[in-house]
């Protein structure tokens, strides 16, 4: 009997959330879309029956979804992952990347994947109710590269380690991620990322940002940012009070990022070396946050 299977753990509600990041009800809702995405994926990659080939492992759809959510949520070593589901490490490695694609397809079809292109983000926001937005950068540690030049490329002076970086734009009312930048090296400044990405918001919107985005502006958007203490001077009482108000509103985007980092794969030291997977998992973690926050908001 497997250490982990849907049938064996669904009765243990607290453990289920710890292993997957979702309640059983949320898991079941996602599994319906995941199953449809799996069928679409297998049709696209259907093997020629005359050639044979390795059969798909984990024949229960719920166990497939449990497998990839468990990996993203807890980020175990693949040897541990393989042992937990009674498969080989080679099969576990294959499933990680295969099921990541399927999960991404399911979340994207349901509209939970955040836009990566500014024009797409603007088009989607113009169809939603207006609200205030917050922007912030987030860093993820990676293993120290062996090459010295590569070390310098990924070294973040702010975090004092080697990192990857993304910027996130979130709605401050619904706590949904509205836009996710590409993944950059840790030394890249938040303002420079915005200069390259050129994010767009509906005209007349209010955007709250911290001092790391000093000088960042979006045409037609009201920017709210704490005022820096002048060199050799001091802020007035009114300026301190305004800074406190701005920080109290902007902190919501930090709570959103904390929700994204419930997936330990984007909060621990990232080990996977497959090309572009570092960007894929950040998108998946953001989409899972949107899925979870949407279902918990609409449940009340």
pLDDT, one tens digit per residue, over 135-169 is 999 999 999 988 888 899 999 988 899 999 999 99
Q: Exposed, middle or buried: residue 102 (CB in 10 Å: 0-12, 13-18, 19+)?
A: buried
| Number of residues assigned to the chain | 300
The whole-angstrom separation of Cα 159 and Cα 231 is 24
Mean pLDDT over 241-261 rounds to 94
Instruction: Tell me if 215 is assigned to some domain.
Output: yes
H-run or E-run covering 137:
strand 133-141
The whole-angstrom separation of Cα 207 and Cα 179 is 13
Report how many domains make up the chain: 2
152 shares its domain with 17 = no
68 shares its domain with 199 = no
Mean pLDDT over 224-249 rounds to 91
Number of H helices, E strands in the chain: 11, 7
Instruction: Tell me if 267 is assigned to some domain.
Output: yes
Q: Above pLDDT 70, what percent of the chain?
A: 95
The whole-angstrom separation of Cα 24 and Cα 45 is 30
Predicted local confidence at residue 148, as pLDDT: 87
42 shares its domain with 171 = no
The whole-angstrom separation of Cα 33 and Cα 63 is 14
147 shares its domain with 105 = no
105 shares its domain with 125 = no
Q: Using the predicted structure, report yes or no on whether residue 119 has a pLDDT greater than 80.
A: yes
* Mean pLDDT lowest among 9-13, 48-52, 235-239, 291-295: 48-52
Predicted local confidence at residue 226, as pLDDT: 92
Global pTM value: 0.92
81 shares its domain with 126 = no
101 shares its domain with 134 = no
pLDDT, one tens digit per residue, over 178-199 is 999 999 999 999 999 999 999 9
**33 falls in which pLDDT band (50, 70, 90)?**
very high
229 shares its domain with 183 = yes
Domain that holds residue 101: 6-109
Please, which residues bridge with residue 169 across strands?
Answer: 135, 179
Instruction: Tell me if 283 is assigned to some domain.
Output: no
Q: Using the predicted structure, report yes or no on whether residue 247 has a pLDDT greater than 70.
A: yes
Instruction: Tell me if 286 is assigned to some domain.
Output: no
Predicted local confidence at residue 233, as pLDDT: 87
Instruction: Tell me if 247 is assigned to some domain.
Output: yes
236 shares its domain with 254 = yes
Question: Could you report how far apart the first and last alpha carbons of the chain are, in Å?
Answer: 38
**50 falls in which pLDDT band (50, 70, 90)?**
very low
61 shares its domain with 203 = no
pLDDT, one tens digit per residue, over 121-138 is 999 999 999 999 999 999
């Amino acid at each position: 009997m497997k250490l982990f299977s849907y049938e064996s753990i669904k009765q243990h509600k607290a453990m289920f959330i710890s292993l997957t990041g979702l309640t059983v009800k949320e898991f079941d809702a996602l599994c319906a879309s995941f199953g449809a995405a799996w069928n679409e994926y297998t049709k696209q990659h259907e093997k020629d029956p005359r050639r044979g080939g390795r059969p798909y492992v984990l024949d229960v759809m719920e166990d497939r979804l449990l497998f990839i959510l468990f990996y993203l949520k807890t980020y175990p070593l693949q040897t541990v992952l393989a042992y937990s589901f009674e498969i080989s490490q080679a099969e576990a490695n294959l499933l990680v990347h295969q099921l990541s694609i399927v999960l991404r397809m399911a979340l994207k079809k349901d509209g939970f994947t955040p836009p990566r292109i500014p024009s797409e983000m603007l088009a989607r926001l113009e169809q939603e109710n207006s609200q205030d937005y917050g922007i912030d950068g987030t860093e993820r540690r990676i293993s120290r590269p062996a090459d010295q030049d590569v070390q310098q490329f990924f070294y973040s002076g702010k975090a004092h380690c080697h990192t990857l970086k993304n910027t996130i734009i979130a709605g401050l009312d619904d706590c949904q991620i509205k836009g996710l930048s590409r993944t950059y090296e840790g030394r890249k400044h938040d303002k420079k990322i915005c200069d390259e990405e050129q994010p767009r918001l509906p005209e007349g919107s209010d955007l709250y940002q911290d001092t790391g985005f000093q000088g960042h502006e979006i045409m037609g958007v009201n920017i709210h940012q704490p005022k820096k203490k002048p060199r050799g001077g001091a802020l007035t009482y009114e300026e301190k009070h305004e800074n406190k108000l701005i920080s109290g509103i902007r902190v919501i985007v930090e709570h959103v990022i904390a929700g994204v980092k419930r997936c330990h794969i984007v909060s621990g030291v990232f080990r996977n070396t497959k090309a572009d997977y570092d960007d894929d998992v950040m998108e998946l973690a953001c989409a899972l946050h949107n899925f979870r926050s949407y279902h918990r908001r609409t449940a009340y």
